Amino acid sequence: MRAVILACDKIRDKIRVGCLKCFKALSEKSGKFAEVDDLEIVAWTSCGGCPGFPIARLKLIDEMLKAEGKSFDVVFLASCMLMAEKNFCKMDLNEVEKKIREEFGVEVIRGTHPQ
């Protein structure tokens, strides 16, 4: 399964130092990564910063992948996106998830690593 990881622009690489928890969970196939067999990360991006432009960013990734003859099957809303929604983010992740499913016809998984 080919995946895109969508992370919070304010948190990733700033507080979490290079998304180490995500990389650890990915290498150990733990957290939400354990739910997917034969996982290939084809893109890793941020929401685009507040107020957030995740669909536009995913459209760009989709176009770039298609130019290479590739695609994606699943989008992970990284654990930092979930933390941001609880604390300061104005994005409605339910709406983001709905739009991703409608626009791209792919699965959406909330979270990446164990907290």
> pLDDT exceeding 90 applies to what percent of the chain?
37
Spatial contact of 9 and 44, defined as CB atoms under 8 Å apart: no
Q: How far apart are CA 33 and CA 36, in angstroms?
A: 6
Can you read off the two tokens belonging to residue 59?
A: 């459209």
Spatial contact of 80 and 9, defined as CB atoms under 8 Å apart: no
pLDDT of amino acid 44: 86
Q: How far apart are CA 56 and CA 6, in angstroms?
A: 12
Show the domains of the chain with their CATH numbers: 2-110 (3.40.50)
pLDDT band with cut points at 50, 70 and 90 for residue 12: low
pLDDT of amino acid 8: 82
Can you say how many angstroms the Cα of residue 57 is from the centroid of all Cα atoms in its chain? 11
Residue with tokens 């399964």: 1
pTM, 2 dp: 0.86
Can you read off the two tokens belonging to residue 104?
A: 């791209």
Mean pLDDT for the chain?
A: 84
List the end-to-end C-alpha distance of the chain, in Å, as a whole number: 24
